[in-house]
Structure 1
Amino acid sequence: MVGVIVDSAFTAVVTSLNTDIISPVLGIFGGVDFSDLQITLGTSKNAPVLKYGSFITAVINFLIIAMIIFLIIKIMNKINEGIKAKIDDEEEILVDDTKVCPYCMEKIAKEASRCPHCTSIIKETDDNN
């Protein structure tokens, strides 16, 4: 439900961006406002009107939305990769600094002489990684 609300608000913003900013700027260079482009199919008063300018505007809206979503996903993937790399580095450090208690099989510090979990005395020869 939240996605639908955000989507409708986002669509309104992108539509406004296209109609209020992009189309007028393109109109300066091309002398054309896309929203007014149309072809009348016939000569009668009630002849159908093909509004291809509105279609072009809708396509531009779609492309803007698709580009923004693509960039958001790209940024989120980069952030996710960075977090995953950091977690992997921390796990590697933890693996290097620990050993397994031979009695309760819990991870403990390599320098530990007593297991904090089962309180067993760990001999120096019991180096199980």
Structure 2
Amino acid sequence: MSFISEFKAFAMRGNVIDLAVGVIIGGAFGKIVDSLVKDVMMPVIGRLIGGIDFSHFYLNLSSQTYDSLEAAEKAGAPLIKYGIFLNNAINFIIIAFAIFLLVKLVNRLHAAEKKEEPAAPPPEPEDVKLLREIRDALKERG
């Protein structure tokens, strides 16, 4: 088997295709959740705690002071941007919770599918059928 045909067989297996689709959908889902955190949730949380924007929180490790995060970044100061980290941590928690809910829903739907299909009883073996016929015939005679 040639290298190209081996790769084609690998790439066309169901698991690889499913993984590729999952990665693409996950990337799009990540962008949606990122926007939800940055544009919807963080302004509300910031407003509730006094109009604070977390993304501008940083710790300046240099001896100079700067008026803003942007000014410190332009100057090339060493920074710890813990506000951005906080945004990303909240983003992760929301994504993990959304995936948890999605998996729970899929499991529930899968369980409902299995419950709807009653298991068919196994076919009766021929020797059991024959013994029942004999029993019934004996009951009729005696």
> RCO higher in 1 or 2 (8 Å CA, sep ≥ 6)?
2
Q: What's the offset of the Cα at 1:126?
A: 6.6
Structure 1 residue 19 and structure 2 residue 31: aligned? no
Q: What's the offset of the Cα at 1:46?
A: 4.1
Change (3 A) 1:101 1:5: same
**Match of residue 56 from structure 1:** 86
Residue segments in structure 1 that go unaligned for 5+ positions in a row: 104-121
Structure 1: distance between partners of 2:63 and 2:134: 97
Q: Secondary structure at the residue paired with 2:133?
A: coil
Change (3 A) 1:126 1:83: farther
**Match of residue 42 from structure 1:** 62
- The one-letter amino acid paired with 1:57 is N
Q: CA RMSD in A?
A: 2.7
Structure 1 residue 28 and structure 2 residue 47: aligned? yes
Structure 2: distance between partners of 1:65 and 1:75: 15
Report the number of matched residues. 105
Structure 2: distance between partners of 1:99 and 1:47: 78
Structure 2: distance between partners of 1:126 and 1:35: 85
**Match of residue 77 from structure 1:** 107
Structure 1 residue 86 and structure 2 residue 110: aligned? no
Q: Percent identity?
A: 35
**Match of residue 126 from structure 2:** 102
Q: Secondary structure at the residue paired with 1:125?
A: helix
Residue segments in structure 2 that go unaligned for 5+ positions in a row: 1-19, 65-74, 136-142
Structure 2: distance between partners of 1:20 and 1:126: 79
Which deviates more, 42-51 or 27-36?
Answer: 42-51
- The one-letter amino acid paired with 1:15 is D
Q: What's the offset of the Cα at 1:78?
A: 1.4
Of Structure 1 and Structure 2, which has the larger fraction of its residues in strand?
Answer: 1
Q: What's the offset of the Cα at 1:86?
A: 2.1
